[in-house]
């Protein structure tokens, strides 16, 4: 079964068949599995793909901010 993966660094899409550890061709980052399936993906036009990508970028940034704030908290706790 084909799955759609997306790169967390350069946000390129890649279609992957049954490889759980997909790597980005562009930057070598470990890809994230998207919630799109192949049929959905090929039905999307360029604009819809861009929109999906933007939402993914937003989610990644939110996640990164959360990780950063947890790390900052841990640093503060160490100092205290
Ligand atoms: Zn990449």
pLDDT in tens, 6-34: 999 999 999 998 767 799 989 999 999 99
Higher-pLDDT residue of 75, 53: 53
Band of pLDDT at residue 72, cut at 50, 70 and 90: confident
CA of 67 to the centre of ligand 1 (A): 20
C-alpha to C-alpha distance for 63 and 27, rounded to whole angstroms:
20
Bridge partners of 74, per DSSP, are none
Structure-token match 């490889």, residue found: 19
CA of 7 to the centre of ligand 1 (A): 5
Quick check: 43 pLDDT over 90? Answer: yes
C-alpha to C-alpha distance for 21 and 39, rounded to whole angstroms:
21
pLDDT at 80: 64
C-alpha to C-alpha distance for 54 and 52, rounded to whole angstroms:
5
Task: Give the total number of structural domains in the chain.
Answer: 1
pLDDT at 23: 93
pLDDT at 73: 87
CA of 6 to the centre of ligand 1 (A): 8
Q: Give the Cα-Cα-Cα angle 57, 19, 66 (nearest 5 degrees).
A: 30
Provide the residue range defining the domain that includes 65. 2-79
Residue 34 in contact with residue 6, Cβ under 8 Å? yes
């Amino acid at each position: 079964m084909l799955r759609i993966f997306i790169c967390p660094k350069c946000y390129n899409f890649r279609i992957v068949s049954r490889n759980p550890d997909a790597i980005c061709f562009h930057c070598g980052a470990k890809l994230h599995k998207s919630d799109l399936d192949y049929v959905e993906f090929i039905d999307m036009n360029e604009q819809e793909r861009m929109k999906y990508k933007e939402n993914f970028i937003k989610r990644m940034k939110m996640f990164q901010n959360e990780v950063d704030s947890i790390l900052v908290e841990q640093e503060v706790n160490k100092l205290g």
